[in-house]
A and B are shown apart, each in its own frame.
Chain A
Amino acid sequence: MSLGTYKGDYHGYWSGVWREFKKDKLAVVALCFILVLVGVAIFDDLLAGSNPIVLRWNGKIYFPAIFEYREFYAVDFKELAENLKEGDFAVFPPIRYSPTEYDLLSVLSPPSREHLFGTDDRGRDVLSRMIHGTKVSLSIGFVSVGIALLIGIFMGGIAGYYGGIVDFIISRIFEVMITFPVFFLILTILAFRDPSIYNIMIVIGATGWTGIARLVRGEFLKLREYSFVEAAIALGGGDLRVMIKHILPNALAPVLVAATFGVAGAILVESALSFLGFGVPPPNPSWGELLSQSQRYVDFAWWLVLFPGMAIFMTVTAFNLVGEGFRNAMDPKLKSR
């Protein structure tokens, strides 16, 4: 009866969860932090880059940070901006360095007014690389968990719904997969495939579905016995309808909590891979890749440890706090605290 007993307001389940979630201030702060990160990841080109956001040139308006223009092919916008005509203007992003822009004259320079977070071993601006690295880290986190969710819900769902021999086979598959040391499996696979961002997403996703599948299987197994599922079958609903309309929406809450933790895990795995040199290929920026440089220069390049390290730490912590917050908000047994 646990499913039917929540006392919510008029708008159903999720608004009740949200109301509980809001009571956990730390989780709310963490959620805000994640939203800011998502904003940074989406608008990375407007926050850091060498192309102006808005440019008026020869009386026409351009947005070189967003679109590519043939007339600006291989143009250095810094030079261009210094020689603008009367009435023309250029608005640059707050960080005026692109993440791949070399400056061999200021290699490994500490934080300064010019480079707020310092530069790396090729003279690239660390802050700019971190801003663009946010996009890499978050998209790897979300996409790989998305892949894991698709596989996990599918496998766990049919195992839990059909039971019997189907369940037996699928359960053995994910029990075997759980015993693999996943990180070394990923390293091995990436040693044979080229480590593009997409391959990393696929590999992390394809190895991370077992936990979700186990959760979904348990939920399906439990919900299949509920009368409302039997009622749907009695009405003549097909397997697909029963699974998608009746079981899945009721099984989703714990899965989404697991997915939030999964994003944190995926970001951590990506950072570790990049740190070991198996991650996103250069010159793509990534937090782990910045951190790996610090290995070599740690005695004096402290900014290469501190800033990317903090970014990874805070992001992973934030996702874990949000997951924790949602788990507590959804668990009716903990509600009375």
Chain B
Amino acid sequence: MSQVELVRVTNLKKYFPVRTGFFARVTNFVKAIDGVSLNILKGETLGLVGESGCGKTTLGKTIIRLIKPTGGEIVFDGHNITNLNSREMRRLRREMQIIFQDPYSSLNPRMRVEDIVGEGLVIHGIVPKKDIREEVKRLLSTVGIREDALFRYPHEFSGGQRQRIAIARALAVRPRFVVCDEPVSALDVSVQAQIINLLLALQEEFNLTYLFISHDLRVIRHISNRVAVMYLGKIVELAEVEELFKNPLHPYTKALLSSVPVPDPSVRKKRIVLPGDIPSPVSPPSGCRFHTRCPIAVERCRREEPALRYVSSHHAVSCHLV
């Protein structure tokens, strides 16, 4: 893995307006991402973990500009893509793809597999028209789908097969960067392993860079090179995968890791149970966003927001007490 940056995100923000009342006035904002900075290196897998509703998916979709950011900057391969218009963006789309969580809603039910997988080829003119069918067959065999799937509709496939088709569709345009938005959460455990191994094999074969979003820590540990932990629209900790799992610094990360079940009944683990629910992203807590649930919070946490700072060369954390 190189040390060259493919994606750099600086102070990225996405606020969704909340409209209420007469004439649907904007009365408030859901701060789904609130000042996220991170970088993704060429050829690596950056894992992104956090509980549901913390803004993981929004962050993934905003980085590839499926969602327009409210503020901040996205740099892809040295180009600032934050303010590209939709036409300029369309040309860049083939560089970055996304695999969705739910394979049941991510394939158009009225299209045949050939047209679903071939669409990107048609849009970007990647292969001549007459070669599209051959290319689609090749892509299907790459992801392990038999070529008689060509003329079938999505509803004739299982969840795992559909996810393979969705992966083939994303690969068709030969992207460099793929956002995997919880690609295995909707699948059976036995199928999860197959899809993850497929993603790893494809990464090696096509030199892909992944942003892998998940709430499943075991999956994250298996697939990632580095891991970012997200809480309420912010990154709280970012470290190399083994460093993070062996030496978590942020109290939230510690609590998160303690929730992973260990398949050994003789091991007695101390589970850290956080009190309360994740606060509303409409009005996040003052100071450190985690202070309302933090077991070690002090007065300072209530007033002052900690910055994400590096404590060693490969480990960044945003906590006053580390």
Q: How far is the CB of A167 from chain B (nearest CB, A)?
A: 10
How many CB-defined contacts (below 8 Å) exist between A and B? 88
**Are A237 and B119 in contact (CB-based, < 8 A)?**
yes
Q: A3-B109, A5-B104, A12-B110 are in contact. Are A234 and B98 (CB under 8 A)?
A: yes
19 A-B contacts (beta carbon < 8 Å): A8-B153, A12-B153, A13-B153, A226-B106, A227-B105, A228-B106, A230-B61, A231-B169, A233-B93, A234-B64, A234-B98, A236-B90, A237-B90, A237-B123, A238-B90, A241-B123, A249-B110, A250-B108, A250-B109
List residues of chain A with CB within 8 A of the CB of B120. 235-236
Query: A6 touching B155 by the CB < 8 A rule?
Result: yes
Docked complex Cα distance between A245 and B122 (Å): 13
> Is B169 touching A235 in the complex (CB atoms < 8 A)?
yes
Neighbouring B residues of A246 by C-beta, 8 Å: 108, 111
Q: From residue B61, how far is it (CB to closest CB) to chain A in Å?
A: 8
* CB proximity of B107 to chain A, nearest CB, Å: 6
Q: Closest CB of chain B to A243's CB: distance in Å?
A: 13
A69 lies within 8 A of chain B by Cβ: no
A10 CB-CB contact with B under 8 Å: yes
Which residues from A are CB-within-8-Å of B155? 4-8
User: Is A1 among interface residues, defined by CB-CB distance under 8 A?
Assistant: yes
Closest to A6 in B: B155
Number of A interface residues at 8 Å Cβ cutoff, please give it: 28
Partner of B109 from the list A13, A237, A239, A245 (CB cut-off 8 Å) is: A13
Nearest-neighbor residue (CB-CB) of B156 within chain A: A10
Given known pairs A7-B155, A13-B110, A231-B169, the reply for A236 and B105 (CB within 8 Å) is no
A81 interface residue (CB < 8 Å to B): no
Known: A3-B105, A230-B98. A235 touches B110 (CB 8 A): no
- Cβ distance A121 to chain B, nearest Cβ, rounded Å: 54
A232 CB-CB contact with B under 8 Å: yes
Question: Residues of A at under 8 Å CB distance from B?
Answer: 1, 3-8, 10, 12-13, 226-228, 230-239, 241, 245-246, 249-250
Task: Indicate if B33 sits at the interface (CB-CB under 8 A).
Answer: no
* Complex contacts, A6 vs chain B, CB 8 Å: 109, 155
B66 touches A236 (CB 8 A): no
Distance (whole angstroms) from the CB of A163 to the closest CB of chain B: 11
Most chain B CB within 10 A, of A1, A10, A235, is at: A235
Structural contact, A228 and B107, CB atoms closer than 8 A: yes
> Once the chains bind, are B119 and A4 in contact (CB under 8 Å)?
no
CA distance in complex: A118, B110 (Å): 52
A1-B105, A6-B109, A231-B100 given. 11 additional CB < 8 A pairs?
A4-B155, A5-B104, A13-B153, A226-B105, A231-B169, A232-B108, A234-B64, A234-B96, A235-B120, A235-B169, A235-B173
- Quick check: A235 and B100 within 8 Å, CB to CB? no
- Residues of chain B within 8 A of A227, CB atoms compared: 100-102, 105-106
Contact residue among A228, A235, A245 (Cβ-Cβ distance under 8 Å from B105): A228
Measured CA separation A4–B106 after assembly (Å): 9
User: Could you tell me the distance in whole angstroms from the C-beta of A330 to the nearest C-beta in chain B?
Assistant: 13
Determine if B140 is an interface residue (Cβ-Cβ < 8 Å): no
B79 at the interface (CB under 8 A from A): no
Select from chain A the residue with minimum beta-carbon distance to B24. Answer: A168
Given contacts A12-B153, A226-B105, contact A234 B110 (CB under 8 A): no
Closest A residue to B90 by beta carbon equals A236
* Alpha-carbon separation in the docked complex, A232 to B170 (Å): 10
Q: Kindly list chain B residues whose C-beta atoms are within 8 Å of the C-beta of A3.
A: 105, 109
Q: State A227–B154 Cα separation when bound (angstroms).
A: 14
In the complex, B97 has a CB within 8 A of chain A: yes
What chain B residues lie within 8 Å of A230 (beta carbons)?
61, 66, 98, 100
Measured CA separation A235–B108 after assembly (Å): 13
The proximity string for B residues 82-125 relative to A, scoring 1 for CB distances below 8 Å and 0 otherwise, is 00001000110110111011101111111100000001100110
- Min Cβ gap A166→B in Å is 14
Can you list the 3 inter-chain pairs with the closest CB atoms, starting with the nearest? A236-B93, A227-B106, A227-B100
B193 to chain A, nearest CB (A): 23
How many Å from the CB of A75 to the closest CB on chain B? 55
CB closest residue in chain B, given A168:
B24
Residues of A within 8 A of B152 (CB): 10
Chain B residues with CB below 8 A from A233, complex form: 66, 93
Give the distance in Å from the alpha carbon of A246 to the alpha carbon of B106 in the complex: 11
Interface centre among B90, B106, B109, B166 (most CB of A within 10 A): B109
Indicate which residue in B104, B106, B109 contacts A231 across the interface (CB closer than 8 Å).
Answer: B106
Q: Give bound CA distance, A220 to B101, whole Å.
A: 21
Q: Which chain B residue has the least Cβ–Cβ distance from A8? A: B155
Cβ–Cβ contact A236 & B104, under 8 A: no
Per the bound structure, the CA–CA distance linking A245 and B120 in Å amounts to 13
Across the interface, which residues of B come within 8 angstroms of A236, CB to CB?
90-91, 93-94, 120, 123-124, 173
